Amino acid sequence: MFGPQSTFVLLVLIVAFGGLAYLLARPGHVALRVGAAVMAFAVSSVFGMALVNRFYDYYQTWTDLYNDMAGKSPGEAALPPSGGKSLAIGGNRAKDGLLAQTVMDGAKSGLSRQALVYLPPQYFQQPYASTRFPVMELMHGSPGRPADWQTGLHLVENYRRLLDKKQVKPMIFVLPDVNGSRGGGAGSQCLDIPGSTHDDTYLSQDVPADVVAQFRADPIGSHWGIAGYSEGGFCAANLALRHPWTYRIAASMSGYFQPLPERGVDPFEGNAAARLANDPVWLATNPQPTERIPLFWLMAGASDRGDVESAKLFQSVLGKHQVGVPLVLIPRARHTFAAWNPAMPKMLIWASSKI
């Protein structure tokens, strides 16, 4: 009721600003008026941030806000250098699972970035001591970072709730750093750019190889999936189609399906062949005879006309290969966390049934 998105918080800020404006307007001590002006500016700034948060549905609780400001994710721990091989069986991990921070090194791309990994409770339970688990690789948006899946979308809580209800199977989630936080989280669209970073190679080859090497994960292929929201939705679609033998399924939440200029610059520098090779619409329309088309799940906020039209176009293209491609439209929602939050459980249930 009194969370960071509540009307009560906005009203308190309005009243505070009004009181400070009154002090500022009254004749009086100069120091008092200067102090009131500074405080009024601060309150108005916080009010603006509160409105943005209310629109995007990012910080839903004060704990979310605190964890983000403190630079940590709820329940996050560090994995030992052994890559999880020395993780003990038993304890709270056997009840709650583990959201852990680790490093994913790129033997092929030359990149090395931090990532979050969630291991389900069963990973630490004795009956599953020799079990390998299916994997979902999750792509964040731009600007963004891996922790947004937890801070903004409450991945662990959503998944655990479904797991307790037996609506999903035990799975490993890997949340890589899509762009290395370069340029303050600037987008990369998960592309291999000549003369720059090879994000595609890192995300589609190095990260899966590291996960299989470090954890009891199923081999790359039939039990692997990829999902993302916003720019991460494009990444999920593009990487799945470019590497169909790595990912069996792909889910795109408010994603787009043709590469965009980055800050007004063509990432392919006019190379039409490179552009088509990273165009999900073209790739789904012109699959290679030896390739398979991954199974897709699509979603958009119903109030975002551009997202809906883009998803419907891609759905129609995929319809030539996959019968009944799911397209979930979230009522009265746009391109925000307010759309992706209610879509998350639906995506997780679908993904669990396919890998």
pLDDT digits (tens, 9 = 90+) for 252-271: 999 999 999 877 788 898 89
Nearest Cα neighbor of 109 from 193, 227, 213 is 193
pLDDT at position 319 is 94
222, pLDDT greater than 50? yes
Nearest Cα neighbor of 235 from 243, 265, 306 is 243
pLDDT at position 95 is 92
* 347/351 Cα distance (integer angstroms): 6
pLDDT at position 38 is 63
First to last CA, the chain: 38
pLDDT digits (tens, 9 = 90+) for 88-117: 445 589 999 999 999 999 999 999 999 999
* 112/177 Cα distance (integer angstroms): 10
Q: Lowest-pLDDT range, 27-36, 232-241, 272-281, 344-353? A: 27-36
DSSP 135: E
* Mean pLDDT in residue range 319-332: 95
- Of 172 and 33, the structure prediction assigns the larger pLDDT to 172
pLDDT at position 84 is 44
Task: Tell me the β-bridge partners of 66.
Answer: none
pLDDT at position 119 is 97
* Mean pLDDT in residue range 37-45: 63
- For residue 7 the two structure tokens come to 């009307």
Burial 315-350 (b: 16+ CB within 10 A, else e): bebbeeeeeebebbbbeebbbbbbbbbbbbebbbeb
* 94/78 Cα distance (integer angstroms): 17
87, pLDDT greater than 50? no
CA 38, chain centre distance (Å): 37
pLDDT at position 239 is 98
Three-state DSSP string of 289-300: CCCCCCEEEEEE
Q: Alpha carbon of 164 to those of 117, 133, 167: distances in Å?
A: 20, 17, 8
Tallying the residues shown for the chain, one arrives at 355
Q: Could you give the dihedral angle defined by the CA atoms of residues 159, 161, 164 and 167, in that order, rounded to the nearest 10 degrees? A: -60
* 62/324 Cα distance (integer angstroms): 40
pLDDT at position 101 is 94
* Mean pLDDT in residue range 295-316: 98
